C-alpha cells in the first residue's frame, strides 16, 4: 500500500513564519515529491473548539485565513485534499469508540495535554472535550489510514497515543483495520522551533511576536527592524553574540549562500558574517536589512498567490468543500471497517440476521 499523509492545524489564527519553516514548507515539498498516494490536510476546527468553545466566531473567521495560507504557500488542491474537520462527522463517531480503549490515567500522562492544561489554567476544572482531544486526534489520523504525520515535536505524544490506540484496537477486535502512523518531525533544530521576534522561545500569537505569512511588506519591515538582537551589542564595534540573537537564528533558518551573493556580497556566507559580528564592527541594522531582504524574497511568491486567491473567496470555500467530500468518503470507509471489526454493523451483515434466526429455531 502507498504512503498516506494526514496532518492539520487548529484554525485559531493566521499562520506565521514559525509554521512555515516548521511544517508548511515541508508539506509542500512532500506534496511535490510524488512519494505519497494521498495527502490530507485538515483544518482542525473541532479540536480548536475544545479550548475555544466559547468563541466559535474566532474559529469560524480563521478557517478561511488558514485555507488562504495553505494555498498561498503552494499546497495544491489537485494534489492535496484540504478539508474541515467538523464536517467529517465520521471522525466524531470514531472518537467515541476509541474512547473505550484509553484510560483516564493514560490521558493524564500525555505531556502535551499536561503542558496545555497549565497554559490554559485548566488545572482545577478540565473540560472533558479538551481532556480527550488526543483520542479525537487519533481518529483524525487513523480515519485516513495515514502512514505519515508531519508535525512539530510537541505533537509526538499525540502520535504515540495514536499508535497505542491502533494496537489496542487491532488486538482487541482481532482485526487488521487500523494503521500505525509514523511522525515526521523537522530535521533541523532551528526550524522545529523558530523564536519570536522578541527572542522568546516560540512565535506565538498571544506573545505578539509573530511575523505572519500574510503580513504586508511594511509590517514585516517594521517587525524585522525592531527585532531582538544582542542587548550587549551597543556600539557597532562591540563584539556581538550570535547565539540567542533572533536575527541570526532567522538567518540560520532562511539565508542561503545565493542570498549573500544577491543582497550582501561583503560576505560569502552566513559563517563569515557571524564571524564579523562576533569580532565587532558589524551593526545590527545591516544584519536586519539582510534578513528583511531574505524574508521578503521568501514571502513574495506567497503574497502574490494569496492576493490572487483573495479575489475569489467563494472559490476557496469550494476547494475546501470538495476536499471535505473526498475526506468524508475516505473516513466513512474506515468507519465501516471499524464497525465491522467491532461487530456493530448489524444491518450490513446479512449472515447475522440469518444466524440469529437459526439460533432461535434450534
Chain positions contacting ligand TRP, by CB under 6 A: 6-10, 44, 47, 137, 140-141, 149, 151, 155
Residue 348 CB, nearest approach to ligand TRP (Å): 28
When the beta carbons of 9 and 215 are compared against ligand TRP, the nearer one is: 9
When the beta carbons of 46 and 247 are compared against ligand TRP, the nearer one is: 46
- 119 by Cβ neighbours in 10 Å (0-12 / 13-18 / 19+) ranks as exposed
Cell digits of residue 260: 549573500
Residue 124 CB, nearest approach to ligand TRP (Å): 23
Beta pairing partners, 16 = 212
Residue 187 CB, nearest approach to ligand TRP (Å): 18
Closest-CA residue to 264 (of 242, 283, 290, 284): 290
Cell digits of residue 278: 562576533
Residue 140 CB, nearest approach to ligand TRP (Å): 4
When the beta carbons of 181 and 240 are compared against ligand TRP, the nearer one is: 181
Closest-CA residue to 319 (of 94, 68, 88, 118): 68
When the beta carbons of 102 and 151 are compared against ligand TRP, the nearer one is: 151
When the beta carbons of 164 and 252 are compared against ligand TRP, the nearer one is: 164
Q: What is the β-pairing status of strands 3-9 and 81-84?
A: unpaired
Residue 260 CB, nearest approach to ligand TRP (Å): 34
Residue 30 CB, nearest approach to ligand TRP (Å): 13
When the beta carbons of 39 and 151 are compared against ligand TRP, the nearer one is: 151
Q: Which residue is nearest to ligand TRP (CB)?
A: 44
When the beta carbons of 7 and 161 are compared against ligand TRP, the nearer one is: 7
Q: How many residues are recorded in the chain?
A: 362
Residue 47 CB, nearest approach to ligand TRP (Å): 5
Beta pairing partners, 39 = 5
Closest-CA residue to 300 (of 224, 221, 216): 216
- 10 Å Cβ neighbour count for 100? 11
CB 335 within 8 A of CB 90: yes
Residue 149 CB, nearest approach to ligand TRP (Å): 5
Q: Helices (DSSP H) in the chain: which residue ranges?
A: 17-19, 25-33, 45-49, 56-73, 90-98, 104-109, 111-119, 128-131, 133-142, 156-172, 189-192, 217-225, 246-254, 257-263, 270-279, 284-310, 313-341, 350-361
Beta pairing partners, 332 = none
Q: What is the DSSP letter of 85?
A: G
Q: What angle do CA 48, 53, 58 make, to 5 degrees?
A: 65
When the beta carbons of 146 and 247 are compared against ligand TRP, the nearer one is: 146
When the beta carbons of 115 and 256 are compared against ligand TRP, the nearer one is: 115
CB 94 within 8 A of CB 143: yes
CB 251 within 8 A of CB 295: no
Residue 306 CB, nearest approach to ligand TRP (Å): 21
State whether residue 323 is helix, strand or coil: helix
Amino acid at each position: 500500500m502507498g504512503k498516506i499523509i494526514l496532518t492539520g492545524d487548529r484554525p485559531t489564527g493566521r499562520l506565521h513564519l514559525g509554521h512555515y519553516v516548521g511544517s508548511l514548507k515541508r508539506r509542500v515539498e512532500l506534496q511535490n515529491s510524488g512519494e505519497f498516494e494521498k495527502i490530507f490536510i485538515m483544518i482542525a476546527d473541532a479540536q480548536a473548539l475544545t479550548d475555544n468553545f466559547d468563541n466559535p466566531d474566532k474559529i469560524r473567521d480563521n478557517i478561511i485565513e488558514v485555507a488562504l495560507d495553505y494555498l498561498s504557500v503552494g499546497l495544491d488542491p489537485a494534489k492535496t485534499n484540504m478539508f474541515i474537520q467538523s464536517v467529517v462527522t465520521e471522525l466524531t463517531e470514531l472518537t467515541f469508540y476509541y474512547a473505550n480503549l484509553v484510560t483516564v490515567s493514560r490521558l493524564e500522562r500525555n505531556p502535551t495535554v499536561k503542558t496545555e492544561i497549565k497554559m490554559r489554567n485548566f488545572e482545577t476544572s478540565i473540560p472533558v472535550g479538551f481532556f480527550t482531544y488526543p483520542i479525537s486526534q487519533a481518529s483524525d489520523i487513523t480515519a485516513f489510514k495515514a502512514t505519515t504525520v508531519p508535525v512539530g515535536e510537541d505533537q509526538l505524544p499525540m502520535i504515540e497515543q495514536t499508535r497505542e490506540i491502533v494496537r489496542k484496537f487491532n488486538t482487541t477486535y482481532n482485526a487488521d483495520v487500523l494503521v500505525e502512523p509514523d511522525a515526521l518531525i523537522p530535521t533541523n533544530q532551528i526550524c522545529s522551533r523558530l523564536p519570536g521576534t522578541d527572542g522568546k522561545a516560540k512565535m506565538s500569537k498571544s506573545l505578539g511576536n509573530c511575523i505572519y505569512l500574510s503580513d504586508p511588506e511594511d509590517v514585516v519591515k517594521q517587525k524585522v527592524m525592531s527585532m531582538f538582537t544582542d542587548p550587549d551589542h551597543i556600539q557597532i564595534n562591540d563584539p556581538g553574540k550570535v547565539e540567542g540573537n533572533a536575527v541570526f537564528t532567522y538567518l540560520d533558518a532562511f539565508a542561503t549562500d545565493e542570498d549573500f551573493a544577491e543582497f550582501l556580497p561583503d560576505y560569502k556566507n552566513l559563517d563569515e558574517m557571524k564571524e564579523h559580528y562576533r569580532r565587532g564592527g558589524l551593526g545590527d541594522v545591516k544584519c536586519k536589512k539582510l534578513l528583511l531582504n531574505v524574508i521578503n524574497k521568501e514571502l513574495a511568491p506567497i503574497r502574490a498567490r494569496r492576493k490572487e486567491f483573495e479575489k475569489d473567496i467563494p472559490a476557496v470555500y469550494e476547494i475546501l468543500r470538495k476536499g471535505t467530500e473526498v475526506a468524508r468518503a475516505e473516513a466513512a470507509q474506515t468507519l465501516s471497517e471499524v464497525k465491522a471489526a467491532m461487530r456493530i454493523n448489524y444491518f450490513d451483515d446479512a449472515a447475522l440476521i440469518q444466524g440469529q434466526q437459526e439460533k432461535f429455531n434450534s
